[in-house]
Structure 1
Amino acid sequence: MNILFLCTGNSCRSILSEGTFNHLAPAGWRALSAGSQPTGKLHPRAVALLQRKGISTEGYHSKSWDSLPVVPDIVVTVCGSAAGETCPAYLGPVLRTHWGLDDPSHVVGSDAELEAAFERTHAIIVARIEAFLALPLAELQQDRARLQAALDRIGTLLP
């Protein structure tokens, strides 16, 4: 099963989600990330945070949803709504859900405040991915409506 974490720039939140999911997921699950308007580069704080957590970023790069190697089974948009950010809409026969996250790269402040924003975002991502992985996925894959409801609920979780 492939899960796509999608946002606009594919430099921060979707990369944090992809790396964290792949680090925590069991065999048979794979995360990808992409953007509708990729920045072309990864945010250095996102890369540094993943590396501090022991999560590999090898091979990760900011990429367009047009260049995905596979069609995802589930698409999770991670754009935030606080700043009026528009999330891209993935069109295709997939389950779609929204796990909105404010962009920590837009935080203005001291180094410590910026670091705290990235840590907060990552903590939310971890909580949501752990909740996803705790679902009875084999059972829910047979019932798309229940899986959709569970995915939508997870998008509201905060640690």
Structure 2
Amino acid sequence: MEKKVLFLCSQNAARSQMAEAILNIKGKGRFIAYSAGLNPASKIDSFAIEAMKRDDIDISCKKPKAFMEFGNVNFDFIITLCDKAINECPNCSIDTVTVHWGITDPINFKGTDEEKLESYIKIKKDIMTRINVFLSIPIGKLNKLSLETNMQELENLLNLSLI
């Protein structure tokens, strides 16, 4: 049975959309990923679309979604991608494993279009690395507390190596 994962951020216009698409490809058969925002944007960020195209992943037809649209879904994992999301994440099932991946919002980057695109590509690579690590965790063999502890320890290591 596939585990359900929600990537949650503030606008659901870039990071969470990229994470959803990447996990649905890399975790096919094991995971089904969703994404949502606390205050969804009106459309997917064009730089996120272009960054994903570089790996032949098309998110151009996706739409930002509100967290409330998933009120009836029992997620196995909720992964917050920004500080706002972790601070405002609604209470979920006691069985839901929650973890925070502090990933910079590329929407705030300044510069030329090429420099902005490079920042989105860097964020996409960061997300791919984290998803690869996530996929390496023996999820079926660990309880909720062990999973949260393992994921937080890996997150701390990733943050150190990405600095």
Moved over 4 A (4+): none
Q: Contact 2:49 / 2:60 at 8 angstroms: preserved in 1?
A: no
TM-score (norm 1): 0.88
Q: Who is 2:137 aligned against?
A: 135
Q: Who is 1:54 aligned against?
A: 56
Q: Distance in 1 between matches of 2:59 and 2:36?
A: 14
Q: Structure 1: which 5+ residue stretches go unaligned?
A: none
Q: Who is 1:152 aligned against?
A: 152
Structure 1 position 123 matched with structure 2 position 121:
no
Q: Who is 1:96 aligned against?
A: 98
**Cα deviations across residues 70-102 of structure 1 (Å, max 9, x unaligned)?**
2211100001x5xxxx22313111211100111
Q: Which amino acid aligns with 1:61?
A: K
What is the count of residue pairs matched by the alignment?
Answer: 152
Structure 1 position 77 matched with structure 2 position 80:
yes
Q: Distance in 2 between matches of 1:3 and 1:59?
A: 20
Aligned-residue CA RMSD in angstroms?
1.7
Q: Contact 2:16 / 2:36 at 8 angstroms: preserved in 1?
A: yes
TM-score (norm 2): 0.86
Q: Structure 2: which 5+ residue stretches go unaligned?
A: none
The percentage of counterpart residues that share the same residue type is: 26
Q: Which amino acid aligns with 1:110?
A: T
If each structure's helix is expressed as a fraction of its own residues, which one has the higher value?
2
Q: Distance in 1 between matches of 2:62 and 2:76?
A: 20
